[in-house]
Amino acid sequence: MAEPLQPQARLDEIVRQIAANMVAEVCSLYVLRSDGVLELYATEGLNPGAVHLAQLRLGEGLVGTIAATARPLNLPEAQKHPAFTYLPETGEEMFNSFLGVPILRAGRTLGVLDVQNKAKRVYRDEELEALETVAMVVAEMIAAGSLEGLSRPGVQLDLTRPVSFRGTALSEGIGLGHVILHEPRVVVTNLFNEDVDSEIERLERSLGYLRISIEDMLARRDIAGEGEHRAVLEAYRMFAHDRGWVRRLEEAIRNGLTAEAAVEKVQSDMRARMMHMTDPYIRERLHDFDDLAHRLLRQLMGRGEGGVMEDGPQDGIIVARSMGAAELLDYRRDRIRGLVLEEGAPTSHVVIVARALGVPVVGQVKGAVSMSENRDEVIIDGDDGGVHLRPPADVQTVFAEKVRFRAKRQEQYRLLRDAPAVTQDGVAVDLLMNAGLMVDLPQLDAAGAAGIGLFRTELQFMIASAMPKVSEQEHLYSAVLDAAGTKPVTFRTLDVGGDKLLPYLHQSPEENPALGYRAIRIALDRPALMRTQLRALLKAAGGRELKIMFPMVTELSEIHRARELIARELRHLTKFGHIMPRRLKLGVMIEVPSLLFQLDELMELVDFVSVGSNDLFQFFSAVDRGNTQIATRFDDLSPPFLRALKSIVQAGERHSVPVTLCGEMAGKPLTAMALLGLGFRSISMTPSAIGPVKAMLVALDAGKLAQAMDQHIASRHRSQTMRELLQGFAEAHAIPY
């Protein structure tokens, strides 16, 4: 197989050698085309004139059945099989026994390899293994593109077929580039072993390490205790000790493969078989097994954890099942054009970080990982949720045009950047931006934000591997204030817990983390953590104005206690002669519905409030913000929620306390428009949203909208939803949304 031959000659040689070695009269190789047809690419024993002419559909005949089921067939009397069909052009009627295997790669069927004999015989397991091993080599040839052009012009192989997916647009923007598979499948290049015993020994050693690493994982405190997640992880342990798996791995090694190639082969077989099952439980298990095989491969090849491709494309579009915020930051921003996730929800933190970086994201793209190969061409449309893998030329042209159109629109936003944010009827609005990292800061001027309405301090903590020191915190905070200059910045104290976990901060397992030990609840119990942060903030703001905001406040006593901590820090700093902030303003986030029923008392205690509509809506509607099954089920523009929001605006007015809203609602022109209609005069959003929101705002008559919305909210008999009303209003008044 290593002989330097042209691709067709090599295929011919492969089938000739197999036939000779297995004493078979026939050996044939079929390749799956993008139109779902299996085309004969090489044969020994059948009519050579049928090569590139004989064809079978997926599911048709024995070969089509193997391709469709991804399972081998071993038949002493092939003609008795219900799927048997006779292809006259190949002249195969006189053969009785048949052995065929799928050509698999990463769980996808790329073709079929078979042998036939006149005599009725049962092929031995070793022969099956041997054939499967050759099929693996052929799979690599196909994937490497070496069979391209062997058939008629215009024939495309299945592996290179263009595929379009429709997912959920999570971060706007269009990206054209090349696939970077996150945690790329380790490519096994060394296929055949030289010494079975030492290879088995290597396998055993790596299995040992694998098992230890799983024990370590299971011993982690943050995943201890009962629950679904526990069952999932226990299954890893079970699989790692699975005798059947180990036996299959050893068998593959005995048949001549290296330990790595054995892992890949066994995994590929299993995946291909299980891919066809629809039971979600089994498919989830398949993911687990995939992960396990990856870990074992990395172990065998001496690689550590999943790595970042340093020599990857300059215009990378990362394709991942899911990803943590920190993992995204492992990649060089200047080489990333987009992120495609099989999971992911609008408020997942990786998505929030991607948005802050201006990286387009599409989530909920099922099957993206297994259909993609590193360096495949891909287009991501973060505006409408499309992902186009290996796009044909006309799709590329459409997108190039779309990018030009977008650039024109961006230019309009840029022109708007320095225009005052005032509505048609003269209402001035503060358009602020959300931030959390140094990388966000240039956006302040680029987007023309009036300030930072929400600085998520936990992001620094989330991407660090150890608790940031007080000096590191102070450094970040003063850099933020320096960048903001005279524009206001609102720092939110650490909002960890729930879905935002710090690997180094041990937390006990919780049944309902969103309702659990998080944010200010932790801060008040562990004052050292909060005091360190407050000290860093106060020092960073020496001589300047400082706005501090507490997340997840549930009752007013928490505000009193937080104030005491601040007072204590102020005393400490005074004692040591530090410069105090010129002015200190304290605010809280309204995220827990309990505050809605004590708004007057709340307003008397604070200098400002900010509505965290992501969490407020989550708790208001009892809908997990990260659960994609229900994340879009309830409408945040429904009258009850809008009434709640309005009551906050009104309470702010009664007490002359400034009110902002900093959840995702502020960043979409239509929902932002609704907020203006409710009376919000300050909203904070992801920087890239400021342009579109401003374009909406300058075209809006806020008074007119308020009237229409009030009527709708008060009405008992509604003929349309609020969303429809807003859309109609925008269209009637030529407001871009």
Instruction: Tell me the catalytic residues.
Output: 349, 662
The item of ligand PEP, Mg ion, none sharing an interface with residue 171, based on CB under 5 to 8 Å by kind, is none
194: closest CA among 124, 253, 106, 274?
A: 253
Partner from ligand PEP, Mg ion, none binding residue 662, C-beta < 5-8 Å depending on class: ligand PEP
Nearest distance from C-beta of residue 347 to Mg ion, angstroms: 9
Taking the complex as a whole, the smallest distance from the CB of residue 462 to ligand PEP amounts, in Å, to 11
Q: Strands (DSSP E) along 46-167, which ranges?
A: 55-57, 73-75, 97-105, 108-117, 163-166
Cβ(416)–Cβ(454) below 8 Å: no
Stretch of 148-156, 596-604, 613-621, 652-660 contacting ligand PEP, by CB under 6 A: 613-621
The secondary structure element, H or E, covering residue 339 is strand 336-341
Residues 421 and 698: their CA atoms lie apart, in Å, by: 7
Closest contact distance (angstroms) between CB of 492 and Mg ion is 9
Of 143 and 352, which CB lies nearer to ligand PEP in the complex structure? 352
In angstroms, give the least distance from the CB of 517 to ligand PEP: 15
Task: Tell me which H or E stretch contains 431.
Answer: strand 430-435
Site for Mg ion in 487-506 (CB under 5 A): none
The angle formed by the CA atoms of residues 633, 622 and 678, to the nearest 5 degrees, is 75
Q: Least distance from C-beta 300 to ligand PEP, angstroms? A: 40
Write the interaction track for ligand PEP spanning residues 361-400; mark x where CB under 6 A is met and - where it is not. ----------------------------------------
| Gap between the Cα atoms of 53 and 66, Å rounded | 20
**Is the separation of the CB atoms in 342 and 369 below 8 Å?**
yes
Number of residues that bind ligand PEP (CB under 6 A): 11
Q: How many CB atoms lie within 10 A of CB 602?
A: 24
Which of 112/549 has CB closer to ligand PEP?
A: 549
Given the complex with ligand PEP, which of 312 and 663 has the nearer CB atom? Answer: 663
27-to-61, 124, 176 alpha-carbon distances in Å: 16, 16, 43
> Would you call 266 helix, strand, or coil by DSSP?
helix
One of 612, 669, 677, 687 touching ligand PEP (CB under 6 A): 612
CB 112 within 8 A of CB 138: no
Binds 127: which of Mg ion, ligand PEP, none (CB < 5-8 Å by kind): none
- Tell me how far apart the alpha carbons of residues 708 and 670 are, in angstroms, rounded to a whole number: 15
**Nearest residue to the partner Mg ion, using Cβ:** 615
* Min CB(265)–Mg ion separation in Å: 47
The secondary structure of residue 425, as a DSSP letter, is: T
613 contacts which partner out of ligand PEP, Mg ion, none, CB within 5 to 8 A by kind? ligand PEP
Instruction: Please identify, using beta-carbon distances, which residue of 275 and 501 lies nearer to ligand PEP.
Output: 501
Q: Residue 425 in contact with residue 703, Cβ under 8 Å?
A: yes
Residues 652-681 that bind ligand PEP (CB under 6 A): 662-663
Examine residue 495 and tell whether it contacts ligand PEP (CB under 6 A).
yes
Q: Which stretch binds Mg ion (CB under 5 A): 41-49, 243-251, 522-530, 583-591?
A: 583-591
Bridge partners (DSSP) listed for residue 700: none
Q: Give the total residue count for the chain.
A: 737
Please state, in angstroms and as integers, the Cα–Cα distance from residue 370 to each residue in 181, 272, 316, 366, following that order: 10, 11, 17, 9
- Of 239 and 617, the one with the shorter C-beta distance to Mg ion is 617
- The residue (of 274 and 501) whose beta carbon lies closer to ligand PEP is 501
Among 347, 423, 493, 686, contact with ligand PEP (rule: CB under 6 A) = 347
What's the CA gap between 638 and 381, in Å, rounded? 28
Applying CB under 6 A, which part among 123-131, 394-402, 608-616, 648-656 lies near ligand PEP?
608-616
Site for Mg ion in 584-643 (CB under 5 A): 591, 612, 615
* Residue 686 binds to ligand PEP (criterion: CB under 6 A): no
Strands (E), 222-302: none
Stretch of 282-290, 482-490, 506-514, 606-614 lying at the interface with ligand PEP (CB under 6 A): 606-614
Site for ligand PEP in 446-465 (CB under 6 A): 454, 456
* Shortest separation between residue 356's beta carbon and Mg ion, angstroms: 16
Cβ closest to ligand PEP, residue 58 vs residue 345: 345
Q: Which does 456 bind (CB under 5 to 8 A by kind): ligand PEP, Mg ion, none?
A: ligand PEP
Q: Report the residue from 613, 621, 671, 688 that binds ligand PEP according to the rule CB under 6 A.
A: 613
458 makes contact with Mg ion (CB under 5 A): no
Q: How far is the CB of 511 from ligand PEP (least distance, A)?
A: 20
Q: Which is nearer to Mg ion, 129 or 615 (CB)?
A: 615
Amino acid identity of 689? A
Task: Classify residue 102 as exposed, middle or buried by CB count within 10 Å of its CB (0-12, 13-18, 19+).
Answer: buried
- Which segment (220-228, 471-479, 609-617, 709-717) binds ligand PEP by CB under 6 A? 609-617
Q: How far is CA 572 from CA 125, 580, 582, 587, in A?
A: 78, 11, 17, 22
Q: What is the spatial distance between Cα 115 and Cα 22, in angstroms, rounded to a whole number?
A: 8
What's the rounded Cα separation, in Å, for the pair 105 and 278? Answer: 20
Q: Which of residues 573-592 bind ligand PEP (CB under 6 A)?
A: 591
Nearer to Mg ion, 448 or 612 (CB): 612
Residue ranges in 191-210 that form contacts with Mg ion under rule CB under 5 A: none
Between 518 and 646, CB nearer to ligand PEP: 518
Q: How many residues bind Mg ion (CB under 5 A)?
A: 3
Work out which of 158, 381, 615, 636 binds ligand PEP, going by CB under 6 A: 615
Q: Toward ligand PEP, which CB reaches closer, 275 or 326?
A: 326
Q: Which of the stretches 151-159, 407-415, 525-533, 607-615 binds ligand PEP when contact is defined by CB under 6 A?
A: 607-615
Binding ligand PEP (rule: CB under 6 A), the pick from 299, 443, 614, 686 is 614
Where does residue 439 rank: exposed (0-12), middle (13-18), buried (19+ CB within 10 A)?
middle
Closest separation in Å from C-beta 630 to ligand PEP: 17
| Contact set for ligand PEP, span 276-335 (CB under 6 A) | none
Within 10 angstroms of residue 295's Cβ, the number of other Cβ atoms is 21
Closest CA to 708 of 730, 737, 736: 730
What is the arrangement of strands in the sheet containing 37-44, beginning at the earlier edge strand? Answer: 55-57, 37-44, 26-32, 108-117, 97-105, 73-75
What tokens appear for 358 in the block?
Answer: 């201006």
What dihedral angle (degrees, nearest 10) is formed by the CA atoms of 635, 637, 640, 645?
130
* Nearer to ligand PEP among residue 112 and residue 530 (C-beta): 530
- In angstroms, the CA 614 to CA 668 distance is 13
- Cβ proximity to ligand PEP: between 114 and 615 the closer is 615
Stretch that binds ligand PEP, among 5-13, 152-160, 611-619, 713-721 (CB under 6 A): 611-619
**Shortest reach from residue 689's CB to ligand PEP, in Å:** 13
User: Residue 462 contacts by C-beta under 8 Å, 6 or more apart in sequence?
Assistant: 325, 326, 349, 496, 500, 502
- CB under 8 Å to 327, separation ≥6 — which residues? 182, 350
The continuous run of DSSP H or E covering 671 comes out as helix 669-678
Minimum distance of Mg ion from residue 490's CB (angstroms): 14
Shortest Cβ 61–Mg ion spacing (Å): 58
Strands (E), 593-694: 608-611, 659-661, 682-685
Give the 3-state secondary structure of residue 695: helix
Contacting positions for ligand PEP (CB under 6 A): 347, 454, 456, 495, 591, 612-615, 662-663
Contacting positions for Mg ion (CB under 5 A): 591, 612, 615
